């Protein structure tokens, strides 16, 4: 019998300690990310006793070619060895094919070494998170950010009466209205990916306070023209989940980006890096994220198990 439990907002107290203990700055290790997308990827979880430990297993159906897609098993005691991780995964897989993703290179290597048969390690370039130096995004220094500064200055010049405000629960309906209008403009009805993102945004706002999310909105003449949502992921890494701006307002994206990073750094002085998540393989989004000069990537790998643990 499958004893995995569908992930809900009420499970945060159970799951978040495991995620935090992993110390990973990848977006998959944010409970908010898991919750936001759980309606799309049918995310569920299970805690099992294995190898004198209690391990959290999180799975989804995000890869349609495989029945299940797992994150690397997590413990509250510390790092999980490849042998222990694989024993736990085989114990719950039901001897059917599965994949393990969002792996660090070290985790992928540990699973490959522990596997009872040869497996391939596949880099997931489309899932690499982009991490930036916070100071760079806050101040856009030097020649490499000249174009970004030009857009920002154009916004500041064109809209001198703009307002930058922290999002409160009372602002959520207006933010959702702005997001839905943005979706109509961008063609969410015809773009499956954008439509799914719109659903994830609604889940994020519906759980805004419980998830501990923080947001910023930019207004002109009392109208929201841009907003963003994020959270403190690790002690030194701020994670940006969502960022939207109406395209007709030149520099609005640059403005809300800069304002939000400055807000995060002021509130959390230990923040050194900004994680702006992956590009999902969208070449336009990839070029945009590369143009902000990432300091490094949170590289991710996947291993695939097509055979049972024993013959």
Q: What is the pLDDT of residues 53-109, one digit of tens each?
A: 999 999 998 545 557 899 999 999 999 999 999 999 999 987 788 999 999 999 999
Q: What b/e readout covers 54-66, taking b as 16+ CB neighbours within 10 angstroms?
A: ebbbbbbebbeeb
pLDDT value of position 308: 61
pLDDT value of position 271: 98
| Chain region(s) in the chain for CATH 3.40.630.30 | 5-127+299-305, 129-277
pLDDT value of position 311: 38
pLDDT value of position 67: 74
Please identify every stretch of the chain with a pLDDT value under 50, giving residue numbers as ranges: 1, 63, 311
Query: In CATH, what class is 5-127+299-305?
Result: alpha beta
For 63, what's the count of Cα atoms within 13 Å in the CB-facing half-sphere?
A: 19
Cα 89 to Cα 16, 23, 74, 264, 305, distances in angstroms? 20, 21, 11, 37, 10
**Residue of 74, 42, 75 whose CA lies nearest to 59:** 42
How far is Cα 77 from Cα 54, in angstroms, rounded to an integer? 9
pTM of the model: 0.94
Chain-centroid distance, C-alpha 54: 25
Architecture of domain 129-277: 3-Layer(aba) Sandwich (3.40)
Q: Which two tokens stand for residue 213?
A: 């999310």
**Residue of 286, 305, 257, 12 whose CA lies nearest to 139:** 257
Contact 179, 244 (CB under 8 A): yes
């Amino acid at each position: 019998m499958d004893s995995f439990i569908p992930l809900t907002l009420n499970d945060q107290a159970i799951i978040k300690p495991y995620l935090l203990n992993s110390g990973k700055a990848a977006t998959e290790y944010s409970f908010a990310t898991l919750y936001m997308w759980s309606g799309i990827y049918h995310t569920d979880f299970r805690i099992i006793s294995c190898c004198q430990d209690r391990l959290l297993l999180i799975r989804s159906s995000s890869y349609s070619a495989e029945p299940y897609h797992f994150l690397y098993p997590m413990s509250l005691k510390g790092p999980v060895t490849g042998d222990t991780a694989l024993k736990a995964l085989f114990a719950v897989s039901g001897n059917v094919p599965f994949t393990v993703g969002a792996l660090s290179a070290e985790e992928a290597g540990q699973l490959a070494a522990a596997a009872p048969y040869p497996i391939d390690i596949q880099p997931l370039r489309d899932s690499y998170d982009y991490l930036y130096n916070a100071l760079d995004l806050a101040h856009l220094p030097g020649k490499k950010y000249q174009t970004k500064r030009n857009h920002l200055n154009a916004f500041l010049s064109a809209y001198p009466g703009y307002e930058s405000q922290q999002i409160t629960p009372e602002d959520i309906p207006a933010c959702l209205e702005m997001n839905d209008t943005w979706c109509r403009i961008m063609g969410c009805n015809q773009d499956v990916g954008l439509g799914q993102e719109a659903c994830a945004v609604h889940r994020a706002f519906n759980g805004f306070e419980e998830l501990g999310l923080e947001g910023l909105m930019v207004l002109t003449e009392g109208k929201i023209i841009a907003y963003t949502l994020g959270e403190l992921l690790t002690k030194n890494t701020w994670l940006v989940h969502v960022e939207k701006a109406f395209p007709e307002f030149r520099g609005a994206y640059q403005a809300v980006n800069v304002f939000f990073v400055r807000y995060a750094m002021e509130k959390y002085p230990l923040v050194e890096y900004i994680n702006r998540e992956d590009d999902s393989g969208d070449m336009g989004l990839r070029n945009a994220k590369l143009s902000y000069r990432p300091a490094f990537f949170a590289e991710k790998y996947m291993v695939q198990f097509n055979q049972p643990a024993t013959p």
